[in-house]
Amino acid sequence: MITPLVPCSPTLVQAFCDVAQSISRSAEMNNPKRGVALSIAIGTVIAAVLFLVVNHLRKGSRRVPQPTVTVGVPTPSAGDLQRMEQVRETIRRVMSEKGIPSVTVAVARDGKILWEEGFGWADREKMTPATPETMYSLASISKPITATGFMRLVEMRKVNLDKPANEYLGIGQIRGLAADPSKATVRRVLSHTAGLPRHVQFFYSNESNRPPSMEETIARYGVIIYPPGGAYEYSNLGFGILDHIISRISGQEFNDYMRTKVFAPLGLVHTSVNIGPGLEPFVAQRYDSQLRPIPFYTFDHVGASAIYSSAHDLVRFGMFHLKQHLADQQAILNDSTLDEMHQEVTTIQPNLGYALGWYTHSDHGYQFVAHTGGMPGVSTMLALVPSENLAVVVLTNTKTDSSKIRQAVIAFALPKYGEALAKEGSQPEAKPQPFTPTAALLGSWVGTVQTWQGKLPITMVFKPDGDIHVKLGDNFESILSDISFRNDILTGSFASSIPTPDANLYRSDIDLKLWLRDGKLQGELSAVTSTDPEHYALSSYADLTKKASSN
């Protein structure tokens, strides 16, 4: 273990104070007046040093301390050490460029952890350095972990993947507006193909708004907006429904179930749903883009987003999914179940699909089973390469583009991947093409938006020049921006509002996602907060029909 070399850590300050007090007491015993003067002088120096350090941190300094390092067995070769140092340089450079408070990485292969290392501050205000045991908010990496817990119930035959999710729910039932809700099976919920909306709700500890019951959330927003099995639609609500089913079927609170049935048997001692009792000292503070601490927040989709874990624990979770059968881990799932979880259920786009709680994708010659996470104060990655028995973890405590760090760490473990990346070079971003409406879209469309409180009228007019005019309820007419129309799916955003109480707590705009099929535009309109920090994306079902031409 290499301890961080910092200009002034809390431990160092305390030691300095202890020595200073000893010197001043000694001087005071020999010469009281001189001792008092010396005490004042030393106190002034200490105060000045502390002021400079704290002020330096609070001004948003981008400098980071030397990392805490834990390198596992086997001892890295000279070549590995050299490449490891190159990755460290990349990590420090990206941290400095993007203002990332901390990064922690872990790499494991063939049942052994090869490298674990923390960079920067887990908590800038407390001057707590990041280590491999630092617990980070995982965001959507919670999904494969929740799915792992859920599959225990499947193995025990308490849940059937191909039964409707509603069979395992209570008062709050999934409603079918775009299709029959019985087609929203558990398997489809696990693979984001049940037709459920995206759904996001953050509840901050410094605000009065608190999460509703899961029954209430499902009753309000558990709506089929796309035909189940017909389209991939990433849904946090779906995984909130799964954690609710876990609680109902197991008879345990979700956090207790995950602690006793997943975390403890796998030896994940620094992993919990939200922040478990006694784990507070290990938790990385989440920071916004200005490096300001973000108050603690939770969700009404806990199974989708609320798990915390350390890089050390998370890479061991990855090793379990690679079927590496560590001596201190229980086999909580059969190998065949793990294989099923990694089997692609739906194709999102070429080389990218979704399985049961995991993304599947091919990248520079390798097949990955992986998940990432991103939300206020969070950017995370867990990537598995089954053919190489490889697990890679990258965790940070601010929301930023950490792709260069992720690629560098993967390239350390897979040199051929790094060679392919280098050969490819940086690719220019594709410029968005101007929207040109098809004949099927041109003209006026009318319909309704179904909120949990009632219906609102909506009209859309597609102009030949590409403009789309939208009027929702009593709001002023707006022009749709950021328009995309691909694979018969129209997306964009416009200035308006949805008049339900929960969607009007903060200033928001409307994100639109409609599927053109059978002569209709159907899908979701989401009230998305446009303020910082983010608060919600709350969806309502939209159904529009084209008006007959007057010509």
- Split at pLDDT 50, 70, 90, the class of 299 is very high
Question: CA 119 to CA 64: how far, in whole Å?
Answer: 7
The whole-number pLDDT of residue 78 equals: 79
Q: Rounded mean pLDDT of 62-68?
A: 43
- 533: preceding bond cis by omega (within 30 degrees): yes
Does position 56 have pLDDT exceeding 70, yes or no? no
- Split at pLDDT 50, 70, 90, the class of 61 is very low
The contacts of residue 452 (CB under 8 Å, 6+ apart) are: 219, 220, 221, 500, 540
The whole-number pLDDT of residue 434 equals: 86
Does position 28 have pLDDT exceeding 70, yes or no? no
The whole-number pLDDT of residue 538 equals: 97
The whole-number pLDDT of residue 43 equals: 53
The whole-number pLDDT of residue 31 equals: 52
| Cα–Cα separations (whole angstroms), residue 364 to 105, 342, 389 | 21, 19, 17
Q: Which of 46, 54, 52, 51 lies closest to 24 in space, CA to CA?
A: 46
Kindly state the tokens that stand for 293. Answer: 């601490």
Give CA angle at 231 (477, 495), nearest 5°.
15
Does position 175 have pLDDT exceeding 80, yes or no? yes
Query: Residues in the chain, how many?
Result: 551
pLDDT in tens, 221-261: 999 999 999 889 999 999 999 999 999 999 999 999 999 99
Q: Which of 166, 160, 169 lies closest to 183 in space, CA to CA?
A: 166
- Residue 100 near residue 122 (C-beta atoms within 8 A): no
The whole-number pLDDT of residue 386 equals: 98
- Residue 171 near residue 219 (C-beta atoms within 8 A): yes
The whole-number pLDDT of residue 71 equals: 44
- Split at pLDDT 50, 70, 90, the class of 16 is very low
The contacts of residue 330 (CB under 8 Å, 6+ apart) are: 265, 266
Does position 9 have pLDDT exceeding 60, yes or no? no
CB atoms within 10 A of CB 207: 14
The whole-number pLDDT of residue 271 equals: 98
- Split at pLDDT 50, 70, 90, the class of 551 is low
pLDDT in tens, 96-153: 999 999 999 999 999 999 999 999 999 999 999 999 999 999 999 999 999 999 999 9
Average pLDDT, the chain: 88
Question: CA 284 to CA 314: how far, in whole Å?
Answer: 15
Q: Rounded mean pLDDT of 284-292?
A: 96
pLDDT in tens, 391-435: 999 999 999 999 999 999 999 999 999 999 888 877 777 777 889
The whole-number pLDDT of residue 12 equals: 38
- Residue 168 near residue 184 (C-beta atoms within 8 A): no
The whole-number pLDDT of residue 550 equals: 62
Question: CA 232 to CA 351: how far, in whole Å?
Answer: 15
- Residue 462 near residue 438 (C-beta atoms within 8 A): no
| Cα–Cα separations (whole angstroms), residue 250 to 121, 158, 176, 298 | 39, 9, 27, 22
Portion of the chain with pLDDT greater than 90, in percent = 80
User: Given 3.30.540.10, 3.40.710.10, 1.10.150.120, 1.10.3720.10, which CATH number is that of 137-424?
Assistant: 3.40.710.10
100 phi/psi in degrees, rounded to 5: -90, 120
Strands (E), 376-519: 378-385, 390-396, 443-450, 455-462, 468-472, 478-479, 481-486, 489-494, 508-517
Strands (E), 157-232: 175-176, 200-204, 223-224
Kindly state the tokens that stand for 431. Answer: 């410029």
pLDDT in tens, 302-332: 999 999 999 999 999 999 999 999 999 999 9
pLDDT in tens, 186-199: 999 999 999 999 99
The whole-number pLDDT of residue 430 equals: 73
Q: What is the dihedral of CA 442, 447, 449, 453, to 10 degrees?
A: 170
The whole-number pLDDT of residue 20 equals: 46
419 phi/psi in degrees, rounded to 5: -65, -40
Residue reference for tokens 């409180």: 453
The whole-number pLDDT of residue 424 equals: 83
Q: Which of 68, 72, 70, 127 lies closest to 101 in space, CA to CA?
A: 127
State whether residue 166 is helix, strand or coil.
Answer: helix
Question: CA 517 to CA 534: how far, in whole Å?
Answer: 32
- Residue 458 near residue 542 (C-beta atoms within 8 A): yes
The H or E element that residue 537 is part of is strand 536-546
Does the domain made of 443-546 have the CATH classification 2.40.128? yes
The whole-number pLDDT of residue 13 equals: 39
Between 1 and 34, residue with greater pLDDT? 34
**How much of the chain is helix, strand and coil, in % rounded to 5?**
35, 30, 40
Lowest-pLDDT range of 47-61, 209-223, 392-406: 47-61
Strands (E), 110-217: 112-123, 128-129, 135-137, 175-176, 200-204
